[in-house]
Amino acid sequence: MSELTFSIVKPDAVEAGQAGAVLQMILDAGLKIRAMKMIRLTREQAEGFYAVHRERPFFKDLVNYMISGPVVVSVLEGDNAIARYRELMGATDPAKAAEGTIRKRFGKSIEANACHGSDGPDTAKTEVAYFFSRLEMVG
């Protein structure tokens, strides 16, 4: 069944000029891009997005990192898109990510790990709506 998921190409990858390569890996994996934009998150937006991690020790550093430069946010669509994109991203820690994954190829650390993807259907819905209006969804 076709579903939507939400993706961020994170500041480290955008800064390194790797956004295009990450998006190409997404397309090569057979996922469609339904919406996309480059933005610079405000502190408030980043804190809101990662609110579930508010109590984690890495929260402040994570927010500072996520606002350190532009990100490319997108909505991906495909059969089983949430699980497929998570597999394509690889483990959160690039050191543990499998060969051929985005994080293995472009991740620099557990924080600067190149990309984010929704972890389930409810999160996907919330995250897509956090960044995109219905008018911005194409196709």
Amino acid at 111: E
Q: Which of 76, 116, 117, 124 is catalytic?
A: 116
Active site residue 53: no
Which window, 80-88, 108-116, 121-129, 130-138, contacts ligand CMP (CB under 6 A)? Answer: 108-116
CA–CA dist 42, 44 (Å, integer): 5
CA–CA dist 84, 53 (Å, integer): 23
Which residue, among 83, 89, 85, has the nearest Cα to 104 in the 3D structure?
89
Q: Residues 7, 73: contact at Cβ < 8 Å?
A: yes
**Using CB under 6 A as the criterion, what x/- string covers residues 63-102 for binding ligand CMP?**
-----------------------------x----------
Q: How many residues bind ligand CMP (CB under 6 A)?
A: 8
CA–CA dist 82, 85 (Å, integer): 5
**Does residue 116 interact with ligand CMP by CB under 6 A?**
yes
Q: List interacting residues with ligand CMP (CB under 6 A).
A: 53, 58, 62, 92, 110-111, 113, 116
Catalytic residues: 116
